[in-house]
């Protein structure tokens, strides 16, 4: 079954016809030619396909494109439209990658995560749930926990941690 | 993947009749479990009825407690200020599960109805009574490290993977269900079932029954509650075992009421009623908690792969109590 949907991707409104079974990841990469989100595991387990969807970090591999008709998506490429995003600059400054395959997902995840923390969202390692968190609470333990949905096979974690810590300003 | 039709009704009752009248149709929530199963061939529906856009996303005061719409995302439920203070075990359980991205996508209903992570269930080349009734259970004699130790068999020896489900039993939640014959309300403790000789059914819900909401009653024990999860890595992993504890104590420290619920040990969240009975009405001690867990574990039947679980669940239970009751932590030191 084929259906036409509309997506706004990195600021551009795009219309495309997809099969029911097409994932958002395949729609972005194979149909719209946006190869910024990466297919790592295709099963929700690695985070390399992460984008910002309607402002929040979101996987695209376990999402059927049809269900997201009308959504607004920002990929890591879109974050760099008007010059590098501070998170991207920090990844450069701190060697937050080696091969770079996980990086677009890491970057989108970090941007979404920083927003969550600034908005008071707690994490598994937050001691007191009654107190809303702020960016200042993002110590290494908090950053590691909140970024745990993004794996890096190159093991660039120390650089990723340093980059996110710098942007958080903690 | 099989050819698939996609429908997006705008009314819950329409969604129910679309699925109820088509044995080949399935509800689609956030998709984090079902889309995975479509790819693996574990689920082969002919039609998906997308319920993720239904207006079931209220998170509001209700009857002195909270009403959580079926589509409230796991991240939003965990972060809600009222939940964090009135039902902290739910925030803790949710925050210990999956990843930030997945929690943004996963719905309350979908979380409860996610299916087992049994490696054989997910591998269509192996026998599995849950996926293919009557084909046998590969896990009974196979890789058994994640198997159940309570209430298992004969058809299936797996455990339920949801952390949220365990927390909901500890706070006496009720699941609101809309079916072809109207609405009914199911206590969270009765939603999931033991396998017996029918492994295919994870819950008591029938085909076409839609979860529309979960009700959280306010209680003293829910307010003092927590969740301990033990896993193979520090984050982003399913539980080996987990423990939800909710406790209400009198001024003098006597236990007025409590809930102890275990995850990772059975086909459903396991309410440790024997352990609760051993502790209710008495002052709390670390030794008392361990003995109570032991009393519950009398019924456990660990196998070679799961020999580690009884001690792990007992220690995790003691840890949960120490987190909630500071003098116990002192005593243990
Ligand atoms: C890598 C990974 C790690 C994870 N780790 C954890 C973890 O540590 N702990 C944990 O608890 N979970 C974990 N999960 C599971 C995750 O929590 C579930 O996949 C998610 O909660 C399912 O919600 P959903 O809305 O995406 O459901 P869907 O995938 O859309 O649906 C799941 C099931 O529910 C049914 N359904 C959906 N909505 C309704 C409704 N309203 N009424 C009736 N039926 C409905 C569907 O038909 C389907 O059978 C993990 C998942 C992944 C991919
Ligand atoms: S334990 Fe249950 S899910 Fe796993 S193989 Fe046996 S029947 Fe299937
Ligand atoms: S490709 Fe989506 S999580 Fe791995
Ligand atoms: S930089 Fe290679 S996988 Fe992360």
Q: How far is A135 from chain B (nearest CA, A)?
A: 16
Fold match between A2-79 and A86-168? Answer: no
Residue B195: pLDDT over 70: yes
Out of 3.90.1150.10, 3.60.70.12, 3.40.50.300, 3.10.20.30, the CATH code matching A2-79 is 3.10.20.30
Residue of minimum CA distance from atom 3 in ligand 3: A44
Asked if residue B31 has its Cβ within 6 Å of ligand 1, the reply is yes
Residue B134: pLDDT over 70: yes
Closest by alpha carbon to A31, among A16, A13, A52? A16
Q: How confident is the model at residue B2 (pLDDT cuts 50, 70, 90)?
A: confident
> In this predicted structure, what is the pLDDT of residue B70?
99
Q: Looking at chain B from residue 218 to 237, which residues have their Cβ under 8 Å from any Cβ of chain A?
A: 234-236
Asked if residue A117 has its Cβ within 6 Å of ligand 3, the reply is no
Residue of minimum CA distance from atom 31 in ligand 1: B110
Residue B216 included in any domain: no
H or E stretch including A18? strand A12-19
Give the model confidence (pLDDT) of B241-273 as tens digits.
999 999 999 999 999 999 999 999 999 999 999
Residue B41: pLDDT over 70: yes
> In this predicted structure, what is the pLDDT of residue B332?
63
> In this predicted structure, what is the pLDDT of residue B36?
98
CATH number of the domain to which B226 belongs: 3.30.390.50
Q: Point out the residues of chain A with pLDDT beneath 50.
A: none
Residue carrying structure tokens 């992570």: B117
Residue B326: pLDDT over 90: no
Q: Measured between alpha carbons, how far is residue B329 from residues A116, B25, B85, B167, B244 in Å? A: 32, 51, 22, 22, 17
Taking the CA of B108 as reference, the closest ligand is: 1
Give the model confidence (pLDDT) of B147-175 as tens digits.
999 999 899 999 999 999 999 999 999 99
Which residues are within 8 A (CB) of B228 and not within 5 positions of it... i.e. 6 or more apart? B242, B243, B245, B316, B317, B319, B320, B323
The domain made up of A86-168 has a fold known as: DNA polymerase; domain 1 (1.10.150)
Q: Looking at the complex, does the CB of residue B81 fall below 8 Å from at least one CB of chain A?
A: yes
Q: Is the pTM of this model over 0.90?
A: yes
Residue B333: pLDDT over 90: no
Mutate to test the interface with A, among B99, B163, B231 (most CBs of A within 10 A): B99
DSSP A58: E
Total number of domains constituting chain B: 1
Residue B3: pLDDT over 90: no
**CB contact (8 A) between residue A66 and residue B50:** yes
Residue of minimum CA distance from atom 19 in ligand 1: B33
H-type alpha helices, chain A: 24-26, 76-79, 86-93, 103-118, 140-146, 157-168
Hey, how many other C-beta atoms are within 10 angstroms of the C-beta on B295?
16
Residue B12: pLDDT over 90: yes
Asked if residue A108 has its Cβ within 6 Å of ligand 3, the reply is no
Residue B300 included in any domain: yes
**CB contact (8 A) between residue B75 and residue A116:** yes
Domain chopping of chain A, boundaries: 2-79, 86-168
A89: CA distance to ligand 4 center in Å?
17
Residue B295: pLDDT over 80: yes
B6: CA distance to ligand 3 center in Å?
23
Residues of A in Cβ contact (< 8 Å) with B6: 1, 3, 20, 64, 66
Residue B1: pLDDT over 80: no
> In this predicted structure, what is the pLDDT of residue B181?
96
Q: How confident is the model at residue B93 (pLDDT cuts 50, 70, 90)?
A: very high
How many whole angstroms separate alpha carbon A110 and alpha carbon B29?
A: 25
Residue B241 included in any domain: yes
Measured from CB, residues less than 6 Å from any atom of ligand 2 are B 116, 118, 120-121, 128-130, 137-139, 156-158, 199
> In this predicted structure, what is the pLDDT of residue A170?
64
Pocket probe mutation, ligand 1, options B25, B98, B235, B263, max atoms within 8 Å of Cβ? B98
């Amino acid at each position: 079954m084929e259906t036409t949907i509309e997506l706004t991707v990195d600021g551009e409104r795009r219309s495309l016809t997809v099969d029911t079974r097409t994932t958002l990841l395949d729609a972005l990469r194979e149909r719209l030619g946006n190869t910024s989100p990466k297919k790592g595991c295709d099963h929700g387990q690695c985070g390399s396909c992460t984008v910002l969807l309607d402002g929040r970090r979101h996987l695209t591999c376990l999402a059927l494109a049809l269900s997201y008709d009308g959504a607004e998506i920002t990929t890591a490429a879109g974050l760099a439209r008007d010059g590098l995003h501070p998170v991207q600059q920090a990844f450069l400054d701190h060697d937050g990658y080696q091969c770079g395959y996980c990086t677009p997902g890491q970057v989108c995840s970090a941007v979404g995560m920083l927003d969550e923390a600034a908005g008071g969202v707690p994490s598994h390692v937050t001691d007191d749930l009654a107190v809303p968190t702020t960016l200042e609470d993002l110590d290494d333990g908090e950053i590691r926990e909140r970024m745990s949905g993004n794996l890096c096979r190159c093991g660039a974690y120390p650089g990723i941690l340093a980059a996110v810590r710098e942007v958080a300003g903690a | 993947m099989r050819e698939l039709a996609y429908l997006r009704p705008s009314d819950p009752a329409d969604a129910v009749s679309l699925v109820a009248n088509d044995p080949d149709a399935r509800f689609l929530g956030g998709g984090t479990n079902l889309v995975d199963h479509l790819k693996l061939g574990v689920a082969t529906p002919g039609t998906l009825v997308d319920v993720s856009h239904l207006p079931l996303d209220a998170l509001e005061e209700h009857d002195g407690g909270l009403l959580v719409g079926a589509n409230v995302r796991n991240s939003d439920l965990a972060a809600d200020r009222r939940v964090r203070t009135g039902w902290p075990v739910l925030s803790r359980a949710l925050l210990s599960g999956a990843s930030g991205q997945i929690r943004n996508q996963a719905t309350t209903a979908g979380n409860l109805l996610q299916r087992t992570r049994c490696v054989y269930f997910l591998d269509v080349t192996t026998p599995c009574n849950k996926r293919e009734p009557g084909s046998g259970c590969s896990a009974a004699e196979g890789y058994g490290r994640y198997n159940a130790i309570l209430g298992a068999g004969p058809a299936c020896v797996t455990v339920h993977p949801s952390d949220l489900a365990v927390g909901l039993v500890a706070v006496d939640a009720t699941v609101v269900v809309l079916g072809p014959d109207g609405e009914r309300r199911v206590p969270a403790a009765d939603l999931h079932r033991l396998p017996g000789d029918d492994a295919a059914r994870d819950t008591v819900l029938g085909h076409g029954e839609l979860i529309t909401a979960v009700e959280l009653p306010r209680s003293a024990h829910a307010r003092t509650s927590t969740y301990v999860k033990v896993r193979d890595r520090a984050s982003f992993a399913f539980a080996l075992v987990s423990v939800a504890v909710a406790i209400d104590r009198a001024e003098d420290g006597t236990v007025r009421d409590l809930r102890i619920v275990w995850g990772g040990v059975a086909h459903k969240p396991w309410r440790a009623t024997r352990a609760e009975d051993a502790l209710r009405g008495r002052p709390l001690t670390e030794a008392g908690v361990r003995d109570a867990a032991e009393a519950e574990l009398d019924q456990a039947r660990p196998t070679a792969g799961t020999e580690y679980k009884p001690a792990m669940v007992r220690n995790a239970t003691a840890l949960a109590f120490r987190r909630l009751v500071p003098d116990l932590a002192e005593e243990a030191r």
